[in-house]
Structure 1
Amino acid sequence: MKPVRTLIVSAAFVAIAVGVAIWLYPRLPAQVPVHWDMSGQANRYAPRFWGAAMWPLLIFGLAVLTVALPAISPRRFEIKSFAGIYGALMLVIQGVMLVIGMTALLVGAGFALPLSTIVPLAVGVLLMVLGNYMGKLRKNFFIGIRTPWTLASDTVWERTHRLAGWVFVLAGAAMAITTLAHVMPGWGLVVIVAVLLIPYVYSFFVYRALEGRH
């Protein structure tokens, strides 16, 4: 996606978040729920202003990063070579955060929405989309599996992200299926931990294997 289009979509996401927050603000309680446990029960609250503002601010922050990160990438680690993929992924992340944030605000305002289903389902979709594009990422400091070993070797980067793509897709599918089937309520946390750990550990062993050949 071209940078101008990415900027336009990001601006639209921010505008939607601000508009929904303003619309719901009069209906929000004095203490707005901002965190929920695995069963969907609120366990943390914030004053109404910050409860309404936090999601638009988060979307705005992601939009700023989408523009800023390519501009500050160091030499030989530029994002330009995969700018289209980077822009698409950042928009997907913004979109998922928008869905989660607006759902949270609607629930806080008293709308009966299944937050404990929507959030893990959205995260599962995000993981699948990220996994689909993971193998197309090139070495950089901001997005992807960034370990000392992937950043030290193009080969380790490519192999790690090839594996990470499969892991992300399978983990996202598992999260979506188990969420829709209403089984294993703690599965989401396990999936996220596994997704984070497997490619990181794999990158170390691939690097050591390559290093041992010299």
Structure 2
Amino acid sequence: MKFREENNHTGSRAKIWPSTWFVLGVILAQILVSVLAYPFMPAQVPSHWNASGQVDGYMSRTANAIFVPAISAGIYILRRILLFIAPSTSRNTNRYVLAKLSDYLLCGVILFMFAIQLVVTAAALGLPVDIGFVVCLATALLFIFMGNYLGKIQRNFWFGIRTPWTLADDTVWERTHRLGGWLLVGAGVVMLVMSFFAPLRPLAIIGPILLVAIILTGYSFLVYRRLSQSGGKA
């Protein structure tokens, strides 16, 4: 997806796109689910499952009703604040593109939260759902979605792969995020396959995330070191 350039970067930070309205609509849907399900929820709602898929944590139905909409609204508000106050890290950073990308990524995160809310609500109401499968599958799809946009993120202080070396140099940032996009998509595909095998689900979430983090941290350091030794030349 291509993003057109705009000269009025300050105004673009406060702009509301269709993707923003979509996020607000999903948050409204989360609130409606909480309100409509509340009278039918048990006093204590399952809130955590162990590796075997057994419930090992609960929260009150009031806390459960508030939790996901509050987290989603908090993420949205924080995103707006950070977008407004974030300083530029580079002359190459286009604030319009950065704001647009953050909106798309926010869509994925808020939808993920909504999926988790729905499956927890279904489980609390006694419906037969495999929560381990849904969480693993939703995480896989989120990784694939985010991976498609990661390589387009320009250097900034508040989202992306922020190691000391990516924050220090545009080239290191660009190369690390380009690799990171491919790795996130690959990790998502691996998670997607592993989600269909119950014994592999705990590893499916933890393993790929840890591996991708280690690879990208090391890669950003190596690229930075190579550029430093060559005087900034690729």
Identify the match of residue 151 of structure 1 among 150, 167, 176.
Answer: 167
1:97 equivalent to 2:110? Answer no
How far is the alpha carbon of 1:39 from its aligned partner? Answer: 2.5
User: May I ask how many residue pairs the two structures share in their alignment?
Assistant: 214
Deviation at 1:99, TM superposition (A): 0.8
Is 1:8 aligned to 2:21, yes or no? yes
Superposed CA deviations along residues 75-98 of structure 1, whole A, max 9, x for unmatched, are 336643332222111111111111
User: Could you report, residue by residue, the CA deviation over 1:77-135 in whole angstroms, capped at 9, with x for unpaired residues?
Assistant: 66433322221111111111111122112212222211110111010011011111111
Amino acid corresponding to residue 196 of structure 1 in structure 2 = A
1:81 is matched with: 97
* Secondary structure in 2 matching 1:3: coil
**CA contact under 8 A between 1:52 and 1:105: conserved in structure 2?**
no
Secondary structure of the structure 1 residue equivalent to 2:227: helix
> For the Cα contact (< 8 Å) 2:88–2:156, is it kept in 1?
no
- The residue number in structure 2 matching 1:66 is 79
3-state DSSP class of the match of 2:65?
helix
**Is the Cα contact below 8 Å between 1:139 and 1:157 reproduced in 2?**
yes
Q: CA deviation at 1:180?
A: 2.3
Q: TM-score, normalized by length of structure 1?
A: 0.92
Q: Which residue of 2 aligns with 1:25?
A: 38
Q: Quick one: percent identity of the two aligned structures?
A: 35
CA–CA distance in 2 between the matches of 1:138 and 1:160? 11
Alpha-carbon distance in structure 1 between the residues aligned to 2:56 and 2:39: 22
CA distance in 2, matches of 1:107, 1:57: 20
Deviation per CA, 1:45-87: give whole Å up to 9, x if none. Answer: 1112102210111111122133222111113366433322221
Letter in 2 for 1:71: F
2:219 to 171, 182, 202: 202
Contact 2:148 2:185 in 1 (8 A): yes
SS in 1 for 2:195: helix
Which deviates more from structure 2 when the two are superposed, residues 167-176 or residues 197-206? 197-206
1:142 to 152, 155, 158: 158
> Counterpart of 2:138 in structure 1: which amino acid?
A
Letter in 2 for 1:113: V
Q: Is the 8 A contact 1:32 1:46 kept in 2?
A: yes
Structure 1 residues not aligned, in runs of 5+: none
SS of the aligned residue for 2:165 comes to helix
Q: SS of the residue aligned with 2:201?
A: coil
**Aligned residues of 1:59 and 1:97 also touching (Cα < 8 A):** yes
In the TM superposition, what whole-angstrom CA distance separates every residue of 1:124-179 from its partner, at most 9, and x where no partner exists?
01101111111100001121101110010001001101111111000000001111
Structure 2, unaligned runs of 5 or more? 4-14
Counterpart Cα distance in 2 of 1:33 and 1:207 = 46
Superposed CA offset, 1:19-40 (max 9, x none): 1111111221111111112222
What is the distance in 2 between the residues matched to 1:21 and 1:81?
A: 34
Between the aligned partners of 1:194 and 1:155, the Cα distance in structure 2 is 23
1:34 match:
47
RMSD between superposed Cα atoms in Å: 1.8
Matched residue type, 2:171 = T
Report the 3-state secondary structure (helix = DSSP H, G, I; strand = E; otherwise coil) of the residue aligned with 2:129.
coil
Q: Partner residue of 2:181?
A: 165
- Letter of the structure 1 residue corresponding to residue 136 of structure 2: P
**2:72 equivalent to 1:56:** no
Question: Could you tell me which amino acid in structure 2 is paired with residue 36 of structure 1?
Answer: W
